[in-house]
Homo-oligomer: A and B are copies of this chain.
Amino acid sequence: MRILVANVNTTESMTQGIARQARRIALPDTEIVPITPMFGAESVEGNYESYVAAVAVMETIRAYDGPYDAIVQAGYGEHGREGLQELFDVPVVDITEAAAATAMFVAHKYSVVTTLDRAVPMIEDRLKLAGLADRLASVHASGLAVLELERDPQAAIDIIVEKAAYAVEHDRAEAICLGCGGMAGLTQAVIERTGVPVIDGVSAAVKLAEGLVAQGLSTSKTRTYAAPRPKAFKNWPPAR
């Protein structure tokens, strides 16, 4: 099967990092197609950028030529999943929700460690809306921006590991979700320090997407995610 794995920012190297992680976990006959949005911010760290990313991912996939079986939206705490579910007939899996649902199968409570403090309420809101927050222990920010993580992952390890350990000891988390598409490489360090399962959202989403496709399941088109009604658009989509 073919899965489109969409980065939410326009930094091509992050798209490649996400794709590498997706390929590492995918089944041998799953083809991972990395998608970089045609427009938007170099990194997504707030609501404005996230809303632009949401439509950018939608339009970029609309413009994608060729068949595919599922979509993974690889942004943590970002807007837009519902729009993808309306537009396309294949299953759509958001990495924030994938990580949370996966954590709940291996732990009583889970925490998320993310990048900037401003991402915390965004992640909390996505999980609340998804109905996956009941067993959420906490969301912690490392204070590191997305691109800092990208540029020097090694430097990020210490602080992320420390936040994860805090969540396990004080918030009673029993699993940790790494709350950024670019954090997959830190998994092992967090496991070593905390001893709890560590979930990478991209990996979780790819496995869930493969599972949905295998079961012949896709987004319900009854009501919430029905295809958009035909109607006139003004100045949209933007010229490529």
Taking Cβ atoms with an 8 Å cutoff, the residues of A that contact B are: 10, 25, 27, 38-43, 45-52, 54-56, 58, 79-80, 82-83, 85-87, 91, 93, 97-98, 101-102, 104-109, 117-118, 120-122, 125, 128-135, 145, 168, 172, 174-175, 194-197, 199-200, 203-204, 207-208, 210-212, 214-215, 217-226, 228-229, 231-236, 238-239
Q: Which B residues are in CB contact (< 8 Å) with A200?
A: 215
Q: How far is the CB of A16 from chain B (nearest CB, A)?
A: 16
Residues of B contacting A83 in the complex (Cβ-Cβ under 8 angstroms): 47-48, 50-51
Q: Which of these, B48, B54, B207, B220, contacts A175 with CB under 8 Å?
A: B220
How far apart sit A98 and B104, CA to CA, in the bound complex (Å)? Answer: 10
Choose from B10, B47, B86, B234 the contact partner of A234 (Cβ within 8 Å): B10
Contacts of A105 in B (CB 8 A): 91, 93, 97-98, 101, 208, 212, 217
Whole-angstrom distance from the CB of A61 to the nearest CB of chain B? 11
B25→A27 contact, CB < 8 A: no
Contact, CB under 8 Å: B108 / A130: no
A211–B212 touching, CB < 8 Å: no
Docked CA distance A221–B132 (Å) = 22
> Is there contact, CB below 8 Å, between B51 and A79?
yes
Knowing A129-B128, A208-B211, A235-B39, the reply to whether A46 touches B220 (Cβ < 8 A) is no
Q: A42-B233, A45-B229, A236-B39 are in contact. Are A222 and B79 (CB under 8 A)?
A: no
Residues of chain B within 8 A of A109, CB atoms compared? 121
How far, in angstroms, from A220 to B32 measured CA to CA in the complex? Answer: 30
